[in-house]
């Protein structure tokens, strides 16, 4: 079973801040009753963050055990009024008066005593005394009728003139009954919380549908006009982004796929099993664009396993490319999360089952395919593969790229909600059409500021890839000015990353650059990286590596040795060549100033690779350059 064992690091501040921009109500995060029992400490803060909402929810929930003692006090007051037969001219009904005659409340008398209002069981004088202070609570209505049974029995007690021993026994039995009742109410409370959570989830899902469908309608007119522009200037990527709006109407898998494939039959010659997984067996509503309405999932079986990965299925459709059909060609957004993890899977709170593994070209690290198994028919899938360069350059600092697609059709545990909210919101941002770009890679200020306000470099959008993809880079340290370090929330398995400025910057920059390159291989034309790229970032990392890392000197020596090793050269070149597919023009220029802070880049490389690369050093020795040589000539 594929269980997330990796250490995923997400800053909960980031999430909490981000959640303010989520379309669906983040309170879902807090609606699970088991927050106290969260095992993983990494998520505890999330649970704690949500506790306010939980408390509020509890306060609004049906009567709890807290309230009914108040009701008892109220009864005592009434009893007091009645017991004072001589002085009292109470207008209470006769039954209430009879009820108050009961002097059964041994344990309540004790409680009152504790509260400072002493009551003696059989003393009517005491009953008189006890009446006045409790009168403040007369108006408290607990909504519980727990006293009904008690009072009736008490009434008979009084009439029968039972002794104090019997009263003690009765009191004990009533305590037991009340305790059982308390337990029952606790269980009921938990059940109600579950129901509330379910309602919240349903509400959020419906809200998302409504928003996206409304947006779809509004954008439909725009798309018409936009298509004309596209015809004229062939701005396919632009068109693509706009089509994303339609996909956004699904926001979730179901809708987009239905819209894109509605009315067409799949020609895939697979076994019927292909259709099993995405048919919404749970009866989820699916929007059928052809039918202009929602249909039950059971009737919506044209889809294939790829409800999740819709893109290639969309491409399988009728190749005739009219504008309308192009509109129907909806590619689903993907959200790629880049996190530091040494395990093949990050722990995102969901249960995944691995259904395939593929050795993608250019990456010796196989890509694993997972599907969500938390609910039958859940269309969510994810891919996971290690960032190759992270293995090359930071051997001990692997970066795992996890790509999600689709939305879950089932309630999620809090831990999963964090990731799901992040990814779904990112996908919505991508598909919202508010940040369309004429060309592939862009850094969206909009997305950055809204989805990930803590950092300006955490989110990247790629529309040129086969799928619109939002990449959330969780490998970087957020801007320390905006987000103080909180290493306790999520633990990256790389302690040095925050300690060593050089490491921090390098680990942040390289994966960002190379990782994006991997996702845009078709557009890859060269990369440059310099220490000057982010002076602020480096400036905020105060101490030089040599001061903080006692191994700096030895590392520098090792670096020099490794860099001089022809095996290293060959290995690194081979790796890069492999990644970029041996394209002739693909020279990767990595400017490396001879700075001791860089020494970690070269560690442990040549044990990993075997193909050639050339390292060129400038005359002055200020700069080293890695040149990828063609596979045949290297």
Partner DNA sequence: CGGATTTGACCCGCGC
Partner DNA sequence: GCGCGGGTCAAATCCG
Residues binding DNA (CB under 7 A): 1-3, 267-271, 273-274, 277, 304-306, 308-309, 312, 315-317, 319, 351-358, 360-362, 367-369, 373, 381, 383, 466
- State the minimum distance, in angstroms, from the CB of residue 357 to DNA: 3
- State the minimum distance, in angstroms, from the CB of residue 240 to DNA: 12
Q: What is the CA radius of gyration of the chain?
A: 33
- State the minimum distance, in angstroms, from the CB of residue 391 to DNA: 17
Q: Which is nearer to DNA, 40 or 488 (CB)?
A: 40
- State the minimum distance, in angstroms, from the CB of residue 627 to DNA: 22
Contact, 628 vs 581, CB < 8 A? no
Beta bridge partners of 384: 368, 402
Give the contacts of 489 (CB within 8 A, at least 6 positions apart).
9, 10, 11, 12, 13, 42, 45
H/E stretch holding 187 reads: helix 164-233
Q: Which is nearer to DNA, 331 or 602 (CB)?
A: 331
- State the minimum distance, in angstroms, from the CB of residue 522 to DNA: 8
Q: Which is nearer to DNA, 53 or 373 (CB)?
A: 373
Instruction: Quote the DSSP letter at residue 6.
Output: B
- State the minimum distance, in angstroms, from the CB of residue 375 to DNA: 12
Beta bridge partners of 194: none
> In angstroms, rounded to a whole number, what is the distance separating the alpha carbons of residues 19 and 477?
19
Q: Classify the C-alpha dihedral 43-49-53-59 as positive or negative.
A: positive
Q: Which is nearer to DNA, 180 or 298 (CB)?
A: 298
- State the minimum distance, in angstroms, from the CB of residue 246 to DNA: 17
CA distances from 455 to 312, 442, 473 (A): 33, 16, 10
> In angstroms, rounded to a whole number, what is the distance separating the alpha carbons of residues 220 and 208?
18
- State the minimum distance, in angstroms, from the CB of residue 628 to DNA: 17
Q: Could you count the other beta carbons within 10 Å of the beta carbon of residue 228?
A: 10
> In angstroms, rounded to a whole number, what is the distance separating the alpha carbons of residues 246 and 215?
9
First-to-last alpha carbon distance for the chain, in angstroms, is: 42
Q: Which is nearer to DNA, 305 or 433 (CB)?
A: 305
Q: Which is nearer to DNA, 286 or 458 (CB)?
A: 286
Residue recorded with tokens 């506790």:
51
- State the minimum distance, in angstroms, from the CB of residue 334 to DNA: 8
Contact, 32 vs 192, CB < 8 A? no
Q: Which is nearer to DNA, 178 or 375 (CB)?
A: 375
Q: Which is nearer to DNA, 3 or 296 (CB)?
A: 3
Tokens of 9: 């690091």
Helix segments in 68-123, DSSP class H: 68-83, 94-101, 106-115
Q: Which is nearer to DNA, 276 or 442 (CB)?
A: 276
| Long-range contacts, stretch 444-452, CB < 8 angstroms, 24+ apart | 450/18, 450/21, 451/18, 451/21, 451/422, 451/425, 451/426, 452/14, 452/18
Q: Which is nearer to DNA, 177 or 315 (CB)?
A: 315
- State the minimum distance, in angstroms, from the CB of residue 433 to DNA: 22
- State the minimum distance, in angstroms, from the CB of residue 5 to DNA: 10
Burial-class residue 141 by CB neighbours within 10 Å (0-12, 13-18, 19+): exposed
Q: Which is nearer to DNA, 184 or 358 (CB)?
A: 358
- State the minimum distance, in angstroms, from the CB of residue 38 to DNA: 21
Q: Which is nearer to DNA, 555 or 574 (CB)?
A: 574
Helix-helix angle 164-233:147-160, to 10 degrees: 170
- State the minimum distance, in angstroms, from the CB of residue 498 to DNA: 31
Give the contacts of 340 (CB within 8 A, at least 6 positions apart).
7, 9, 397, 398, 399, 400, 474, 475, 492, 493, 494, 497, 507
Tokens of 277: 């997984």
Burial 1-32 (b: 16+ CB within 10 A, else e): ebebebbbbbbbbbbbbbbebbbbbbbbbbbb
H/E stretch holding 472 reads: strand 469-473
Q: Which is nearer to DNA, 95 or 324 (CB)?
A: 324
């Amino acid at each position: 079973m594929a269980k997330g064992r990796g250490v995923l690091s997400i800053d909960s501040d980031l999430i909490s801040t981000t959640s303010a921009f989520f379309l669906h109500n983040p309170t879902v995060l807090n609606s699970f009753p088991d927050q106290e029992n969260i095992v993983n400490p990494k998520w505890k803060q999330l649970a704690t963050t949500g506790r306010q909402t939980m408390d509020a929810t509890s306060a609004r929930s049906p009567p709890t055990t807290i309230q009914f003692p108040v009701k008892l006090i109220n009864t005592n007051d009434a009893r007091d009024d009645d017991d004072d037969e001589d002085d009292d001219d109470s207008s209470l009904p006769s039954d209430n008066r009879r009820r108050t005659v009961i002097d059964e409340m041994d344990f309540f008398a004790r409680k009152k005593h504790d509260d400072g209002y002493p009551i003696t069981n059989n003393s009517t004088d005491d009953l008189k005394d006890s009446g006045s202070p409790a009168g403040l609570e007369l108006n408290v209505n607990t909504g519980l009728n727990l006293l009904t049974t008690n009072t009736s029995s008490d009434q008979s007690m009084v009439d029968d003139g039972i002794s104090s021993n019997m009263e003690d026994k009765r009191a004990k039995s009533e305590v037991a009954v009340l305790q059982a009742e308390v337990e029952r109410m606790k269980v009921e409370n938990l059940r109600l919380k579950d129901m509330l959570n379910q309602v919240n989830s349903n509400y959020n899902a419906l809200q998302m549908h409504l928003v996206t469908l409304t947006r779809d309608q509004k954008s439909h007119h725009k798309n018409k006009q936009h298509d004309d522009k596209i015809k004229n200037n062939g701005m396919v990527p632009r068109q693509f982004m706009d089509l994303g709006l339609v996909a956004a109407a699904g926001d979730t898998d179901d809708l987009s796929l239905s819209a894109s494939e509605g009315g067409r039959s799949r020609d895939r010659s697979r076994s019927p099993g292909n259709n099993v997984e995405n048919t919404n067996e749970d009866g989820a509503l699916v929007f059928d664009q052809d039918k202009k309405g929602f249909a039950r999932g059971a009737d919506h079986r044209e889809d294939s396993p790829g409800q999740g990965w819709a893109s290639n299925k969309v491409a399988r459709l009728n190749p005739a490319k009219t504008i309308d059909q192009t509109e129907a060609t909806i590619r689903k957004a993907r959200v790629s999360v880049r996190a530091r993890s040494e395990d093949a899977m990050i722990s995102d709170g969901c249960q995944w089952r691995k259904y395939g593994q593929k050795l993608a070209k250019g990456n010796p690290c196989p890509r694993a395919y997972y599907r969500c198994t938390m609910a039958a028919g859940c269309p969510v899938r994810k891919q996971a593969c290690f960032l190759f360069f992270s293995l090359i350059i930071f051997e001990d600092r692997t970066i795992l790229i996890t790509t999600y697609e689709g939305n879950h059709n089932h309630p999620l545990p809090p831990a999963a909600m964090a990731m799901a909210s992040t990814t779904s919101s990112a996908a919505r941002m991508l598909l919202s059409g508010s940040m369309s770009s004429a060309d592939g890679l862009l850094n969206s200020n909009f997305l950055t500021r809204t989805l990930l306000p803590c950092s300006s470099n955490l989110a990247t959008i790629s529309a040129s890839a086969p799928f619109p993809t939002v990449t959330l880079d969780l490998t970087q340290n957020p801007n320390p000015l905006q987000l103080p370090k909180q290493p306790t929330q999520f633990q990256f398995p790389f302690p040095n990353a925050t300690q060593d400025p050089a490491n921090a910057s390098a680990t942040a920059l390289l994966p960002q650059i190379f990782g994006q390159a991997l996702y845009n291989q078709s557009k890859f034309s060269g990369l440059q990286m310099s220490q000057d790229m982010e002076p602020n970032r480096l400036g905020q990392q105060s101490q030089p590596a040599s001061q903080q890392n006692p191994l700096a000197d030895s590392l520098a020596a090792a670096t020099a040795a490794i860099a001089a090793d022809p095996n290293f050269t060959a290995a690194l070149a081979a790796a890069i060549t492999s990644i970029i597919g041996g394209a002739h023009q693909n020279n990767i220029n990595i400017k490396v100033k001879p700075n001791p802070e860089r020494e970690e880049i070269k560690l442990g490389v040549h044990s990993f690779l075997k193909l050639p690369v050339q390292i060129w050093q400038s005359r002055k020795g200020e700069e080293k350059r890695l040149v990828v040589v063609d596979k045949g000539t290297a």
